[in-house]
Structures are given as structure tokens and as C-alpha cells.
Amino acid sequence: MVLDGIVSPVHSQPVHPPTAPVPVPPEVSGTAPWAGSPPLDNESAHFSPFVELGRQAWARLAQSIQQPLNQDDVDRLRGIGDHLSLDEVAQVYLPLSRLLNIYVENAARLRSATNDFLGESTRRTPFIIGVAGSVAVGKSTTARVLQEMLRRWSSTPRVELVTTDGFLYPNAELRRRGIMDRKGFPEAYDRRRLLRFVSEVKSGRPEVPAPVYSHLKYDIMPDEYHVVRRPDVLILEGLNVLQPARVREDGTAGLALSDFFDFSIFVDAKSSHIQQWYVDRFMRWRHGAFANPEAYFHRYSRLSDQEAVAQASDIWKRINGPNLRENIQPTRSRARLVMSKDDDHSVSRVLLRKV
């Protein structure tokens, strides 16, 4: 079950920060073992393919870059219950936006050099960023902030954000398959349609429609689409965007969604913290989204505090918790970068893949 808040799109004029060189991220001694890996001894840690940066070390990478957002921007971008402040934007997302800008610019240079080598003149294709993580971990806020910040760089004024919620099967189909209570699990998505969408965007098709999901109706909106038109960057946000390719009956594997990604981010936290954030958000929704008589979950607005906590905890234990353990957490090590959060929702460290 996926219960996410709704935040209106942000429309603002680009204000390009200076493109002064940013220092190469320094390697930190005592790099922590990668999520899910066995503990490393000192020698193995020295040669780890990952670098771990604490918040202060990470924040120093953007000291020379102007902060492009103000408090109004932060208030609009923040999701329900998420921790997001101007300090968080400056210390965490500003360095990340610069790092992504470096990747985008280098991808463009590589394409240009390849065209010269081949004697071709193929146009630049969108740079695709995948953002993964659990329900209630704050990945939607991360995706919105990155969209807004990347728009401020002169090389990426057109940044689109699409969530994979739109590629869930309609409720009628989920009921037909007997998996309505597994909404958000990998099998609840029209994977073929999602792969086709990303493939067409990546190949440079002028217009590619993405289906729209309504959190109010808790279903796909028929005949409603978000049309993506050759963006500089596409951010694809969702629970399972880093799932590996499925293995066919003959033992071969098809395409994975991440095969089309140029960069990927996993928003991480302890499962106990995420569970508490989910319960806290559920409680807020009783007086927000659930209070709307047209809302699919309007019945929850009439619960007492004790009943609401029990209901949210039950949903977590039956659905969101197992999905996190079985499907989402195992994809963490596939990400290019992991943002690790503390219990107050603030990012405390960043793990960046070196190779």
C-alpha cells in the first residue's frame, strides 16, 4: 500500500548559480562497509569501491556555490512530515546538485566525442536519474528538491519529474490478479509499460506520455497523462526503480529499469525510523488528505488516535515493512549514491560509489 502526499508542482524562474569548480570529494579514512556487505577489515576498507562522507565533509564541497532556493521554495517542496530546511538544502542538496551537474556535462562531452569519432550527428538524449527508497523515507521530497535545483544550472533548464506510481496497474486489474493488498510490490507495476516509457524518453522521442496516479482516488486516472517532451534531465522516482532484471524461464535476463539510468540515488534510514515516520504521517493525513469526503481512505479520518496508530502500524507490518525488507532494501547496493538519514529525517552521511 502506497500512501504518499500530494505536492503542487513548483514553477519558478531559473537563477543559475556560478559554475565554479568544486573540489573532488576527499576520501574519508575508515570507510564504512557498504549496506548489506560483510564487515571490512582495515586493508579491505582502504580499497573499498565506495567513499563515505559525513555531513560536514559533504557540505564543504559546495561552500563556493550560491544557495539558489529561499524559504518559500523549501516550504513548497517539503513533503508531509519531512525534515527540510535551508541548511539541509545548502549542506546536502547543493553539493549533490553540483555533482549531478558534473555528470550531466561530462555525459554531453562524451556524446559529442562519440559523434565525432563515428562521424554522426545524433542529438543529446535526456540524462536519467533514478531515486529509490521506502514509503515515508522522503524520496519524493528528495526528487522535488533535485528537480528544482537542477533547473537552476544553465546546462539543465528543462528537468522533468515522473513517479512510478502512474505505472501501477489500475485497481480493477490488481483485484483481478488478487494482489490489491500488494500495491507497491514489484508485481503491482506494469513493468513492460514502464520500461517502454523510459526507453522512449532515453532514445529522444519528442513526446512520451506517462500515466497519472491520483493519491486521492488511490487509482490510475483514465485518459490522463503527463507528457514528457525531450527534457535535459528526467528524474524517475519510485519504490522499485533499482530492481534487477527479471530472470526468464529459460534462465536469461531481460532489461532492468536501471539499465537506462545515468545516475541513481537511494534514500536510506533505519527501518524502525521509517516505520515511525509512516505512522506519524498517517496521523497527519487524518486531518489532511483523508478528511476529503472524496478520498479513498476517508474512513480513516474518523478513527481515534489510538485506532489510527493501530491501523497505520498494521499496514506497515503487513505491507510496507515486508516490501521494504524483501524488495526495496536489497536494491540499496545498486545505487550510485546513498543518502543516509538520522531519526529526525536529516541526512547525516553520503555513500558515493567510486567505481
The pLDDT > 70 percentage for the chain reads: 85
State the Cα–Cα distance between residues 202 and 190, nearest whole angstrom.
Answer: 19
Range from 181-195, 245-259, 313-327, 333-347 carrying the lowest mean pLDDT: 245-259
Residue 160 grid coordinates: 522533468
Is residue 171 included in any domain, yes or no?
Answer: yes
Average pLDDT estimate for 307-313 = 96
In whole angstroms, what is the distance from residue 171 CA to residue 329 CA? 26
Note the pLDDT of residue 7: 36
Angle, CA 320 vertex, CA 316 and CA 321 arms, to 5°: 75
pLDDT per residue as tens digits for the range 154-191: 889 999 999 999 999 999 999 999 999 999 999 999 99
- Is 133 annotated as contributing to ligand binding? yes
| Residue 254, annotated as binding a ligand | no
Q: What is the pTM of this model?
A: 0.85
137 labeled part of a ligand binding site: yes
Contact in structure between 216 and 294 (CB atoms under 8 Å):
yes
| pLDDT score at 46 | 61
Do 6 and 285 touch, CB atoms closer than 8 A? no
Q: Is residue 343's pLDDT more than 90?
A: yes
Q: Which residue has the cell 527508497?
A: 133
Residue 10 lies in a domain: no
**Residue 22 placed within a domain:** no
Quick check: is 160 in a domain? Answer: yes
CA angle at 24 for the pair 45 and 139, rounded to the nearest 5°? 75
Structure confidence by residue, pLDDT tens digits, 190-228: 999 999 999 999 999 999 999 999 999 999 999 999 999
Backbone phi, then psi, for 155, in 5-degree steps?
-85, -10
Question: Does residue 4 lie in a domain region?
Answer: no
Helix (H) or strand (E) run with residue 285 in it: helix 271-285
Q: Calculate mean pLDDT across residues 335-345.
A: 95
pLDDT higher than 80, residue 321: yes
What pLDDT, on a 0 to 100 scale, did the predictor assign at position 150?
95
Q: What is the pLDDT of residue 83?
A: 76
Mean pLDDT of the chain: 86
Q: Is pLDDT at 275 greater than 90 in this prediction?
A: yes
> Could you tell me which residue, 19 or 53, shows the higher pLDDT?
53
Residue 11 maps to a domain: no
Whether residue 139 is annotated as binding a ligand: the answer is yes
- Give the residue-averaged pLDDT of 60-74: 87
Rounded-to-integer distance, Cα 184 and Cα 79, Å:
19
Classify 194 as helix, strand or coil: helix
Task: Report if residue 15 sits inside a domain.
Answer: no
User: Which pLDDT band holds residue 246 (cuts at 50, 70, 90)?
Assistant: confident
- Is 285 contained in some domain? yes
140 labelled ligand-binding: yes
Top-confidence residue, 304 or 74 = 304
Range with lowest mean pLDDT among 35-49, 235-249, 295-309: 35-49
Read off the CATH number of the domain in which 257 is found.
Answer: 3.40.50.300
Q: How many domains does the chain have?
A: 1
The pLDDT assigned to 42 comes to 53
Q: State residue 40's pLDDT score.
A: 46
DSSP designation for 188: G
Q: Please state, in angstroms and rounded to a whole number, the distance separating the CA atoms of residues 177 and 204.
A: 34
pLDDT at position 16: 42
* Cell (9 digits) for 48: 573499498
Residue 138 among known ligand-binding residues: yes
Q: Which residue has the higher pLDDT, 262 or 15?
A: 262
The pLDDT of residue 27 is above 80: no
To the question of whether residue 134 is assigned a binding role by annotation, the answer is yes
89-137: per-residue pLDDT in tens? 999 999 999 999 999 999 999 989 998 999 988 788 899 999 999 999 9
Which set of grid coordinates corresponds to residue 315? Answer: 499496514
Q: Provide the domain limits for residue 65.
A: 42-353
